[in-house]
Structure formats: C-alpha cells, structure tokens
Structure 1
C-alpha cells in the first residue's frame, strides 16, 4: 500500500471514507474513475469489434479497467500497470495520465517512477507508431512521409508521459516541503511551550529562594534583638521595685536594642523596595516583546529576569550596605557584650591573625554566632557559654558551646517562642558559601554549634 503526501498529512485527522482523507478527495477520484470508465467503455467497442469479440465484452472490459482509477491514491503503481497493459488496446489514456501524475506525487521510490514512466512512454510510442504507419492518422504518401510516423509517435508519447510526471514530481516535492515546514513549526511551538514551562518553573524557584532568603534575614534581624529585649524586660520586671537603678539600666538596654532592630528592618525594607521597582520595570519593558513568543512566554521570561535582577540588586545593595553598616566580625565583641549585659556568662576567644574577609563571609560568621547565642537565651538561660573564633590559612572557623543551665526552670522563664528554623537557616547560609555546619548536644548536657567557612567563599 502506498499513500500520497496529502493522505499521510491528513492521516491524523482523517474525515473521509475508507482511505481518503477528505470527502472532497473521494468525490474527485470517483469522478475521474467515472470518466475513465466511460472512456474505456467507448474505446472497448472498436477493440472488441477488431478482435472479433462480442461488443458487450469490450464494453464490460472497458468499464472494469477504467474503474481501477478509483484506487489511484492507495495503489498508484497498480493503476499505472493497468494503464500500460491496456495501452495496446488503444484505451485508458486518461487512466495513464492521472496514474503517472499520482505515482510521481506519491512516496514511491524514484527508480520505480522512472521505470514505469519509461514503460508507459514506450507503450504509447509503439501504439502511436503502429497507428500512424497503418494510415490511421495519415495514409497518403507525400514528401516527408518517412519521418512523419516517428515524429507523431514521439510527440504523442512525450505529451502523454512527460507533463503528468513532471507535474506530479513538482506537487510531491512541494507537498513534502510544506509538510516539513509544518513539522518544524510544530516542533518550534513545542520547544517554545517547553521553554515557557521551564521559565515558569525558574520564576517560581526564584520567588521561593527570595522568600526563603527574606525570611532568613528577618529571622536574623528580629530573633536576636527581640530575644534580648524579652530577657531584659523579664529582668526589668523582676528588679523594678528592688533595684530601681538596675531597672533603669535594663530599660535603656531594651530601648537601644529596639532601635537597632528597627534600623536593620528599615535597611532591609529599603532593599526590598528597590528590588520591587526593578522587577516592575522589567515587567513593563517585557510587555513590548509580546508578539514574539505569545502571551505566556514573555511574562514567564520577564518574571525570571525580574526575579533574578531583583535578587542580584538586593544582594549587591545589601553587600554595599553591610560593608559600611552591616554586621561583621569586628562587631562580635559588641554582640557578646549584649548577651553578657542580659545576664549570660560568655567567654570569647579569638585565635590566629585577624584579617578582612568578603562581606558575605563576615556576615555569615556573625549570624552563626548571633543565632547560637539567641538559642542559648531561649533554651539554656543562665548557662555559661564559650565562643571560639579561629582565623586559619584558607578558612575561618567558629564554635559556640554552652554548658547545661544551672536550673531547669530558667530555660523557660522568659517564655521565648521558637520556630525551629534557626539551625536550618545557619546551615543554609554556611552551605551556600561552601562551608560545613554541625550542631548537636554535648556529652556534658550542653549544646554545641560549629561552622567552617572557606576564606574565599
């Protein structure tokens, strides 16, 4: 079975009967087959008379032979072979022309097309030559009569074979080209859809990362300051009547810590506002590219670009701010002093030669110590704590370890809530810089937090 390019293209959306892709194609083939049957029936009459057969036999034979054209789309080779077979009977010329066209336009190999076309050419040439020689076309003997039969035969053979074959080859090549372009367009559409889906995933991932980073920053900024404020407020409540001077001192510390927390929150909100502005600008500029990829693709791509731009600007802006005002290792003594002022016994020791690090490294080291001290305030109030910082050749290491609290009841005296995300946030920060983070209880009943960060980040 051989199908034409048109049938193969419409195979997925076939709406016609049997092997036809459309009802219009079926009607066309039925009409051509009817014309071929009439032609062969008319031509079968003289064939039967010359062969000494009954006229009805010639007519029936012509009708049957002409009806073969009905299957030209499914079996073009069979149609051409039948046309070649009945050529000596001087019938089936329409079948031969339509059959050669269908054959050349189909997916049949070129060598078969050339062979059948050659056979059809030879058959028509021989029949025409015999007719011309016997005087069916011109019977008188005049000047040039010797070359007239070959000329007429060659002209008729070329006219019956060359035009349909050439037209069929052109239509088949054009059909295959259009089919290839359609497949490429479908492939491009699928690729664009896949890119849009990936862009949406990247945008969602970027938004999730940004939300996680913002939550971690908010936790770092608020948790430590507010924890100390709660501890001092509890101490203030305890000594307000017994020691007014100490109560005033604790109240001043609470005020200072509150102002510091507000200052850091304002800086963070300022960075977020600048990032939102850039994201909005990116979305407005991306709307101009709507005609390239459609409605969904630009919005997704612009969403990714906006999220990435906001993230980059947020980190760069935050880095610039922290270089001047952000937390760094130089403020570690002040951090320890704040915990000591809240009643914690803290021992700070620094090993190695102090040197400068990248802002994100110093900030991460500071936040690890800060979060560890905050956890001591929450879960082991009154426990002695040791803070160790070591400057090594290729890395910086820090460790915060506390002893068991002196009284079990002190751990919850301040009633500090805990979200359980502090250790997770510290581990994420350290891992983002290629470092190692370890935390867990000690054999003595305390808790230890250790981190090592490469000096190059």
Structure 2
C-alpha cells in the first residue's frame, strides 16, 4: 500500500469510510423497517384487542412490541420468523413476516432450517387467510344460496394470496444470498490468486538471483583456472629469467620465450571466454543486461566451454609446462584411456591444473606426482607434492584462497568426491574421483 493510500485509510475516506457508511445505512434501514412494522402491528393490534376482548391500549402496545422485533433481524433472523408465525393467528405482522423470510433466506442459516421455517410460515399464513376469507365471504353472502364458499374458491384464493406474500421474499433472499456468497468467493479467489502470483514472482526472483549467482561463480571459477595457472607459470619463468639473465643468456632467452607463450595463451583463452559472454548482448544495449540475455550468454558460455575446453589429452602438455618452469613432475596413467564426457574431462583437467598451480605458489622446488586412473565407471586423479625445497627461492605468488574451493565445487557438481589435505611427509595431496557419466548434481 502506498503512503497516500495508507493515509486515506487512516482518515477513513476510501475503505473504512465506505464500510462505516454501509453499516450506518444498514442500521437506518433496520430502524425504518422496525418502525413501519411496529406501526402496522399497532394498527392491527386494535382489531386484535376487539376480537380478543382486551383493552385497545394493551393491543396497541402488544403490536408495537411485536413489530419492533425487526430491529434484530440481521442477528437473529430465525427468531423474527418464529415471532411472525406465532402472531399469524392474530392477523398481524405481515411486513415482519416478509422481511424476516427475506433476511432468513439471504443469511448463512442452513438451507434445511430455512426451508422448514418458510414452510411453517406458509402453512400458518395459508390457514389464517383461508379462515379469514371464508368468514368474510360468509358474512357478505349470508343470504345467497347460489354460492358455496366452502368449495374450491377459498382454498385456491388463499393459496395464491399466501404464495404472493411468502414466495417473493424467500426467492429474493435466496438470490441475494447466493449472489453475495458468489461475490465473496470470487473476492477470496482473487485474493488467493494475487497472493499466489506474488509468491510466484518472489520465487522467480529468487531463482533468477540464484541463477545469476551461479553464473557469476562459474565465470569466476573459469577465470581463476585460466588466469591463475598461466600467470603463475609466467611469474616462475620471470623469476628464473631474472636469476640466469647474466649467467646463462641462452637459458634466459628460452625463459623469456616461455613467458611470452604463456602470456599469449592466457590472453587467447580470456578473449574466447569474454567473446562468448558478449555474443548475445546486442549492440547499444544498456549496462543493465536483461536476465534473458544473461541466461542465453551463460548457456552459450557453458556450451562453448564444454565443447572447446581442455581435455585429458592435453594433460601431458600441462605437465610439460610445469616441468619447463623447473618443477619435477612425474605423470602416471593407470588403466586403459578412453573418452569421457566433455564436462568430465574438462573438470579433471582443471583439477590437475589448479593443483599444479598451488604447487608453484606454495611448494617451490617440491617434487610432484600426478596420477590418473581410468576405472570402469569413474576416472580418478591425484596430485601429490613433497615438502618444499628451502634452497629454491620463493616466487612470492599471491593466493586468494579460492583454488581448493573451486575444485571442490567442480567435482561435487558432477556427483564426484573431492579430498585434499597435508601428507605425513610434509607435503600436500589433492584427490578427486568423477563418475564416467558426469551427471550434474
């Protein structure tokens, strides 16, 4: 609700004002009907007092008290109808009976009770009307022998008069009550639908936010794997270049060439990744890219990465890069090599790549053993390094602490198992097992 709407509600103009005005109008209507019914019953009480042999003021007072029962018609409609049935023999309360039947039919009283009371009222009015009509006809035609009021005329006319009095208020009340219940049901359904739409919008926003977070995490992981390894090797080669620049010019030239190659490879991979992410963004688009464009770019990036990303065939070249940087790396392959899914091979490659990057960062001069095992339903990899060599200068590579986290996310996403930790010999071991099917969790 807006601030203006809240202020107007508090002032009682739109919502509370209409409710208050509706209640006031209903109260005025009830009072007016009760006064009319009391006046009617008071006039009819004069005749009742004469027939019953009572004082006229007592009959008028009785009629006023009976007619005022309409004040409680909304709260106790059954009581109003019962009173109208009770005073029917006194030939009073016709307005009260009609209004009471209407209120009863339009209320939430069970239909079987409404039908029973409407039937009782109809029978009572029918009997009173028939008796009164017979008396009137008898008095008017006492001297006539050609007309017998005890035949079909009196019952038929009494029935029509009774139905004319009771049927319209009952039918009208049933219609008004059904319409009110229908409107309430539609209003409740509209409110429920509005709440459901709001809930769906909230869930859609949560899913969109989750998708954006997942895509940011995936891109950050890819950027980390691509940049960290290449730049780490560049730093290692640059340190070696600085150390041998004056002593061994030929080796310095080779190290400089390796640094250049690493830089070009890193730039090439970054351009490919950024190019995929920019493919679905139209020219001149605003900085806030729509969610659909982000989703299409994410899907394209994931597909491109799966198809064009590194695989296990490039593992030997990856190990050679570390060897060229001066690290002693032993590669052992067990089992018969076979092709796996693109996501499985890329994840296995990234695990080994990140593990070797960590060796360059944290275990300078350590010996490294890379094991790759092809099994029947899975592929396993392990990278274990010994303690670092104190005689080897540390390249002072920074670490963001995201390498192990990224590896674990990659492996568990495919339903694999990831374990890492220090060894008893003072080194560090990274192990991962991936299912051959590589179904994403």
84-93 or 47-56: bigger deviation: 47-56
Identify the residue that residue 10 of structure 2 maps to in structure 1.
none
**1:307: Cα distance to partner?**
5.2
Please, which of 236, 239, 250 is the counterpart of residue 241 of structure 2?
236
Contact 1:68 1:79 in 2 (8 A): yes
**1:275: Cα distance to partner?**
4.7
CA distance in 1: counterparts of 2:71 and 2:16, whole angstroms:
22
Please, which of 386, 389, 405 is the counterpart of residue 372 of structure 2?
389
CA distance in 2: counterparts of 1:388 and 1:233, whole angstroms:
28
Contact 2:306 2:346 in 1 (8 A): no
Q: 1:14 to 1:58 in 2, by over 3 A?
A: farther
Please, which of 323, 329, 346 is the counterpart of residue 329 of structure 2?
346
Identify the residue that residue 441 of structure 1 maps to in structure 2.
422
Identify the residue that residue 82 of structure 1 maps to in structure 2.
83
CA distance in 1: counterparts of 2:16 and 2:120, whole angstroms:
36
CA distance in 2: counterparts of 1:223 and 1:335, whole angstroms:
14
**1:115: Cα distance to partner?**
1.5
CA distance in 1: counterparts of 2:185 and 2:38, whole angstroms:
37
After superposition, residues 299-448 of structure 1 pair within 5 angstroms as 303=291, 308-320=295-307, 322=308, 326-407=309-390, 410=393, 413-448=394-429
CA distance in 1: counterparts of 2:165 and 2:227, whole angstroms:
93
**1:370: Cα distance to partner?**
0.6
1:40 corresponds to 2:27? no
Please give the secondary structure, in 1, of the residue aligned with 2:136: coil
Identify the residue that residue 3 of structure 2 maps to in structure 1.
none
Structure 2 spans left out of the alignment, 5+ residues: 1-14
CA distance in 1: counterparts of 2:160 and 2:191, whole angstroms:
46
CA distance in 1: counterparts of 2:217 and 2:65, whole angstroms:
80
Q: How many residues align?
A: 418
CA distance in 2: counterparts of 1:454 and 1:189, whole angstroms:
45
| Cα offsets for 1:377-427 (capped at 9, x unmatched) | 0001111111111112211111111111121773xx211100111011011
Q: Give the TM-score normalised by structure 1.
A: 0.86
Contact 1:436 1:451 in 2 (8 A): yes
**1:317: Cα distance to partner?**
2.5
Q: 1:424 to 1:393 in 2, by over 3 A?
A: same
Give 4+ residue runs of structure 1 displaced > 6 Å after superposition: 12-17
**1:31: Cα distance to partner?**
1.2
Identify the residue that residue 294 of structure 1 maps to in structure 2.
none
RMSD: 2.4
Q: Give the TM-score normalised by structure 2.
A: 0.89
CA distance in 2: counterparts of 1:316 and 1:144, whole angstroms:
102
Please give the secondary structure, in 2, of the residue aligned with 1:452: strand
Contact 2:411 2:432 in 1 (8 A): yes
Identify the residue that residue 271 of structure 2 maps to in structure 1.
266
